[in-house]
Amino acid sequence: MIDRLREWRGFILFVLVMLVFRSAVADWNQVPSGSMLPAILVGDRIVVDKLAYDLRIPFTQRRIARWADPARGDVVTFTSPEDERLLVKRVIGLPGDLVGMVDNRLTINGEPLDYRPLQRRGSFLRFEERLPDSVRSVVVQAAVSGSRADSFAPVQVPPGHYLMLGDNRDHSRDSRAFGFVARERILGRATAVAFSLDYENHYAPRTDRFLADLD
């Protein structure tokens, strides 16, 4: 038994190093739903920078150093306060923000966001949504017919928490369902697509999405 462990020690060490790396430094996660369309497609494997905001002890939620906080517009991964599942959503509301929504159009701190129609496809409209104090543009996909979650009264984000929404607003379970997300639950920032498979086309690779940056 000892001799066999010696033979496999190189492989065992490699596995341990990879597990530590994925837990505390960087990871890649499969996206099984379309809640972040069109920024993230079903079948994308996204790269998550787990050092974007802080350093955690591997395999725990304990932070030993913190150098940044999530910014509005960041795409982040976190554990759901509803059922502990790993989710990926976009940061919309920062601590202290007053956020509301009417017919899929957001207001932040009393200021309505700027929307520009980009594309119509069937029963869907695609908009460019510009967030305040953010240089990036957010592309959302919103159904023409209203949904039960397309509007909510202004709510204030409590200290140490964030309001998360999916870009595919009418098909995302996010802060509208499970509430605000505590800072401690945020695991890292999604930065790019490692690779992508088209599930509806016999898992064919989408080579144009390999190593594509996330907006």
Host domain of residue 173: 2-213
Residue 133 reports pLDDT greater than 90: no
Residue 47: its pLDDT value, please? 95
Nearest by Cα to 172 from 43, 31, 33: 33
**By percentage, how much of the chain surpasses pLDDT 90?**
52
137 is catalytic: no
Its pTM stands at: 0.87
Residue 24: its pLDDT value, please? 61
pLDDT band at 97; cut points 50, 70, 90: very high
In degrees and rounded to multiples of 5, residue 182 shows phi and psi of -65, 145
Q: Are 89 and 164 spatial neighbours (Cβ–Cβ below 8 Å)?
A: yes
CATH number of the structural domain spanning residue 52: 2.10.109.10
pLDDT band at 83; cut points 50, 70, 90: very high
List 23, 33, 35, 172, catalytic entry? 35
List 50, 89, 175, 196, catalytic entry? 89
35 is catalytic: yes
In degrees and rounded to multiples of 5, residue 158 shows phi and psi of -70, 160
Total tally of structural domains belonging to the chain? 1
Query: ∠176-112-190 over CA atoms, to 5°?
Result: 55
Helix (H) or strand (E) holding 105: strand 105-108
pLDDT band at 144; cut points 50, 70, 90: very low
Is the bond preceding 70 in cis, omega lying within 30 degrees of 0? no
Nearest by Cα to 171 from 77, 36, 31: 36
